[in-house]
Amino acid sequence: QSGGALLCLVSRNEELDVRAVLQERCEEMELREEHVVAIRAGWGRKSESVLELASTLCLGASTFLFVDDSPLECAEVAARCAALGVGVVQLPRDPEAIEAYLAQSWLLDEPVERSKTALTAEDAQRTVLYRQLEERKAFVSSTASATASMDAFAASLNLRVDLRPITEESAARAAQLTERTNQHNACKHPITAERLIEAVSGSTCLTVDASDRFGHHGTVALIVMDAAASLIDTDGAIVADSSTTASPSAAAPTATFVPSAIDQSAAGLEHVVQIRCWLLSCRSLHLGIEHIMMRHVAALAARLHASHLAIHWKLGERNEPAAA
């Protein structure tokens, strides 16, 4: 859990009874209620609870591992969810054998690529951050439709958004976002912390922190945009590209262009600022953060005398929300 893993409980029981056990027997168990992100208790299929948790927590089903000692429950979840990538671990019935069994279960091994990634402050606080998510969603569903505008909604949420240039301290978290963010990620392309720091030369590279009435979100977004405008023709073809060593994922530049109002009026050409990376953590979606990000980027582009923004887009498995 200190490395960012989340724990959910799925039980065939009444939720009040499950919470009562966690509270009343807290001295007998290492597991406490505050360790649990979400509880789904009821009499339906456990596979439905797993998929509902994935949707509510904005996580891919393939990130879930179902652990149970019932062969029937494990078989039911596997039949419904294995094709979606949900792992299933069936525990032995003998309590004395569980610890040794878990130690040898390869499904519980940390992925190699993740073990090489530096832990961030958000990893250590991930359980708290996701517990806040359910409270936040309840507030959004009850308040968003009652407010007259997105600005009014943000004010009712006490939303604060800070955009700042990337630093060596924030680069590790920014790199992590490029790997893990799927839904609101216009062009998913994992970028290392070192490459992001290099991108500062010739690019505007911004991290985004947010907080609201429910707590601090942490660093939840990343923007990498060219520090100067590109020149394009009326068909959208790039005539002169501002990128130098700026883009973490772009091909070699064709030219360096410094915009001017005189050039823009000639030959039907337009000045465009290219956004190479645009992403926002799904747990912070639909709160108005993306609107604030866009306003900030538009203001930066206006200072460069640009008339358009061009966001690099690549269709992914789950990034339809970014297109919206």
pLDDT tens digit sequence for 124-179: 888 888 888 878 887 877 776 556 677 777 788 899 999 999 999 999 999 999 99
Mean pLDDT within 262-275: 63
Q: How does pLDDT run across 48-98, given as a tens digit for each residue?
A: 999 999 988 888 899 999 999 999 999 999 999 999 999 999 999 898 998
Q: What are the residue boundaries of the structural domains of the chain, listed by start?
A: 8-109, 121-323
Query: Measured between alpha carbons, how far apart are the two ends of the chain, in Å?
Result: 33
Q: Which residue has the higher pLDDT, 251 or 290?
A: 290
Return the number of other C-beta atoms located less than 10 Å from residue 42's C-beta. 14
Task: Give the CA count within 13 Å in the CB-facing half-sphere of 276.
Answer: 29
So what's the pLDDT on residue 87?
A: 93
192 and 175 in contact (C-beta within 8 Å)? yes
CATH of domain 8-109: 3.40.50.1000
The pTM of this model reads 0.71
260: confidence class by pLDDT, cuts 50, 70, 90:
very low
HSE of 262, CA atoms in CB hemisphere, 13 A? 1
Token reading at 130: 């996701």
Question: Which alpha helices (DSSP H) does 272-314 contain, by range?
Answer: 289-303
Q: What is the pLDDT of residues 231-249, one digit of tens each?
A: 665 555 555 555 544 445 4
Q: Which residues of 179-212 are buried (b: 16+ CB within 10 A; e: fewer)?
A: ebbbbbbbbbbebbbeebbbbbebbbbbbbbbeb
Amino acid at 246: A
Mean pLDDT over residues 5-21, rounded?
Answer: 91
Residue 255, CB-side half-sphere exposure with 13 Å CA sphere: 10
Same fold, 8-109 and 121-323: no
List all residues 6 or more positions away from 249 whose beta carbon is below 8 Å from its beta carbon: 187, 189, 191, 276, 277, 312
**Are 89 and 66 in contact, with CB atoms under 8 Å apart?**
yes
Tell me the CATH number of domain 121-323, given options 3.40.1550.10, 2.102.10.10, 3.40.630.30, 3.30.1130.10. Answer: 3.40.630.30
DSSP letter assigned to residue 62: G
